[in-house]
Amino acid sequence: MEKSLRSFINQEIEKSINTFSSILSNEKLLSQVEVCVTEICSALGNKNKVLLAGNGGSAADAQHIAGEFVSRFNYDRPGLAAFALTVDTSILTAIGNDYGYDKLFSRQIQAVSVPGDIFWAYSTSGKSANIIAAMETAKQLGLKVIGFTGQNGWSRPDLVDFSIEIPSPETPKVQEGHLLLGHIICGLVELKIFPREQYAPT
């Protein structure tokens, strides 16, 4: 049993390493990450905001990244405008009850967004109905859409301006890739908007 446990642990770590290595060698994917950084910096520089959403573990990812923007990432600096659309239980249950689960995020985007905002969408399958509906609303209202998904891409690629597709068929590994690249984006946005030498001199 002990050997079986260690074998499983080693196997999962090796799969994670392989996923990260595939990300590192994927020029198209890394270019999309760079573009996401530029777009987010531009939006925040224009006093716009980043809205994030996902389901389940991806909801946790949305909240995690919003927290990194609003509070801090690597060093102290002013907060950045980011909001997870997954946190207000009264809003979520009201929309779910009155309009259905598929409207959970699109209704919030309609209520709080302005043109020039960014919708950062998470769906490991690329098919989540409430995320697709939110993307549709975001595009109609003049938002840019960043989509974090898995290797199969989006069921509606026409709704995504910048697609981050983690090269793995396994949901946990896709989520690990999302966290890795989400952290990288946070770190680069922080550096570009609030240079370390000004806010965290050595």
On whether 178 is known to bind a ligand per the annotation, the reply is no
CB 60 within 8 A of CB 84: no
DSSP structure class, residue 102: G
- Please report the sign of the dihedral spanned by the C-alpha atoms of residue 189, residue 19, residue 51, residue 42: positive
Residue 64 annotated as binding site: yes
Q: Is 97 annotated for ligand binding?
A: yes
Q: 100: annotated binding-site residue? A: no
Asked if residues 145 and 162 have their Cβ atoms less than 8 Å apart, the reply is yes
Residue 42 annotated as binding site: no
Instruction: Give the end-to-end CA distance of the chain in Å, rounded to a whole number.
Output: 50
Q: Is 79 annotated as a binding residue?
A: no
Q: Where are the alpha helices (DSSP H) in 25-150?
A: 27-45, 57-70, 89-98, 106-112, 129-140
56 labelled ligand-binding? yes
Using an 8 Å Cβ cutoff, are 134 and 112 in contact?
no
Question: If we measure between CA atoms, which residue out of 180, 200, 182 comes closest to residue 191?
Answer: 200
Q: Is 110 annotated as a binding residue?
A: no
Tokens of 73: 């990432």
Instruction: Confirm whether residue 26 is marked as ligand binding.
Output: no
**Binding residue per annotation — 182?**
no
In the annotated binding site, the residues are: 55-57, 64, 68, 97-98, 123-125, 128, 175, 183
In the annotated binding site for Zn(2+), the residues are: 64, 68, 175, 183
In the annotated binding site for substrate, the residues are: 55-57, 68, 97-98, 123-125, 128, 175
